[in-house]
Amino acid sequence: MDDRLFRNAMGKFATGVTVITTKVDEHIHGMTANAFMSVSLNPRLVAISISEKAKMLEKINNSKRFVVNILSNEQKNLSMHFAGQLIEGVSVEFETIDDIPVIKNALANIICNVKSAYVEGDHTVFIGEVTELKLTDGEPLAFFEGKYGKVVKD
């Protein structure tokens, strides 16, 4: 199997899109991620997977905290911006919850303390214990086969 086949297979799994945020020494860092899942209800745990190439990895290893910001379908530009794709005219608005930056108007801001980290292959899986939540009404941004889309409900 070649890498392209593997990537194409993973791209068949339609996801939402998040921006992970964290703060180290008053410096805010954000990064687009769709490798996110809910792990446990009791205790409340989530997982994210961060590439060894991403600057975010060192930031979370230092801060021991992160926020999963689930984007709305009006925030595609933010997803592209935080994936390092140059988008003109993007203005990023952060709010602060519990002393950590979150993306304003995201559908959900899920504030976590790092509970554990597992280096697996070229990624690190962080398990986050959820300490705070904020929800906002709206429609989700979706990602499928490498492209953005909208969710149509039945």
Asked if 59 and 71 count as a contact pair (C-beta separation under 8 A), the reply is: no
Q: Closer CB to ligand FAD, residue 147 or residue 154?
A: 147
CB 132 within 8 A of CB 104: no
**Nearer to ligand FAD among residue 11 and residue 138 (C-beta):** 11
Length of the chain as a residue count? 154
Which residue number, 102 or 130, has a Cβ lying nearer to ligand FAD?
102
Which residues make up the interface to ligand FAD (CB under 6 A)? 17, 28-35, 49-51, 54-56, 79, 81-84, 92, 143
Supply the minimum distance, in Å, between the C-beta of residue 117 and ligand FAD: 13
**Shortest separation between residue 42's beta carbon and ligand FAD, angstroms:** 25
Minimum CB–partner distance for residue 148 and ligand FAD (Å)? 8
Question: Between 51 and 63, whose beta carbon lies closer to ligand FAD?
Answer: 51
Q: Which residues lie below 8 Å from residue 80, measured CB to CB, with a gap of 6+? A: 32, 87, 90
Q: How far is the CB of 40 from ligand FAD (least distance, A)?
A: 19
